[in-house]
């Protein structure tokens, strides 16, 4: 499997973890960890191809940066890594780690064993939470890029974090 860039963050006492990968043999199966999520759609396959090309370009740019650093260059522009494809940022490929259980693709797992499906209301809460969390993290990133550490920290502290879903394990 080839792993896309994972991301982890803690918001409202919930850890979200994303690290989707595709099968190397045929490349059309989407996994989260060892769990098969689904087959890639034709659109997903196009996104994967574009992402793979962006990763190759990014890696080449990094090699150039590393070479400049080895030569003692101090003012080096480090390239931004490509965003993971949309199919890796969707609800079905995000693992929510709560205290006592994991929620993945609308199912609750305790100690790796599926316990139940989420109710429709819980699914709505989870979808709202991930969208609000992504917006919050995007806001954080924009603030950090604009200001100094203290200014950024104060601006971010003034914004309320997304409300934690009410999921019983």
For tokens 């962006």, name the residue.
54
Separation between Cα atoms, residue 92 and residue 32, nearest integer Å = 9
In a domain, 164, yes or no: no
- What are the pLDDT digits (tens) for 113-158? 889 999 999 999 988 888 888 888 777 777 777 766 677 777 777 7
For 17, the token pair is 């973890």
Give residue 90's domain range: 2-157
Does residue 7 have a pLDDT over 50?
Answer: no
Are the CB atoms for 15 and 97 separated by under 8 Å? yes
Are the CB atoms for 117 and 103 separated by under 8 Å? no
For 132, the token pair is 């609000």
Q: Which residues pair with 17 in a beta bridge?
A: 8, 95
In a domain, 121, yes or no: yes
In a domain, 35, yes or no: yes
Tally of domains in the chain: 1
CA angle 165, 168, 169 (to 5 degrees): 120
Phi (first) and psi of residue 150, to 5 degrees:
-70, -45
In a domain, 169, yes or no: no
Separation between Cα atoms, residue 103 and residue 101, nearest integer Å = 7
In a domain, 163, yes or no: no
- What are the pLDDT digits (tens) for 8-63? 333 334 444 455 677 666 668 887 766 777 888 999 889 888 988 998 998 999 89
In a domain, 117, yes or no: yes
């Amino acid at each position: 499997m080839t792993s896309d860039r994972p991301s982890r963050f803690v918001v409202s006492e919930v850890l979200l973890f994303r690290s989707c990968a595709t099968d190397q043999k045929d490349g059309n199966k989407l996994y989260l960890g060892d769990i098969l999520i689904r087959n890639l759609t034709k659109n997903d396959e196009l996104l994967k191809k574009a992402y793979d090309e962006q990763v190759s370009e990014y890696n080449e740019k990094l090699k150039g940066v590393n070479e400049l650093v080895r030569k003692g260059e101090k003012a080096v522009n480090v390239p931004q890594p490509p965003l993971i494809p949309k199919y890796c940022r969707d609800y079905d490929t995000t693992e929510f780690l709560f205290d006592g259980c994991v929620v993945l693709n609308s199912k609750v797992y305790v100690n790796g064993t599926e316990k139940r499906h989420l109710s429709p209301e819980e699914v709505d809460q989870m979808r709202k939470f991930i969208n609000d969390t992504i917006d919050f993290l995007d806001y954080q990133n924009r603030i950090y890029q604009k200001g100094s550490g203290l200014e950024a920290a104060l601006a971010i502290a003034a914004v309320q974090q997304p409300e934690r879903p009410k999921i019983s394990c």
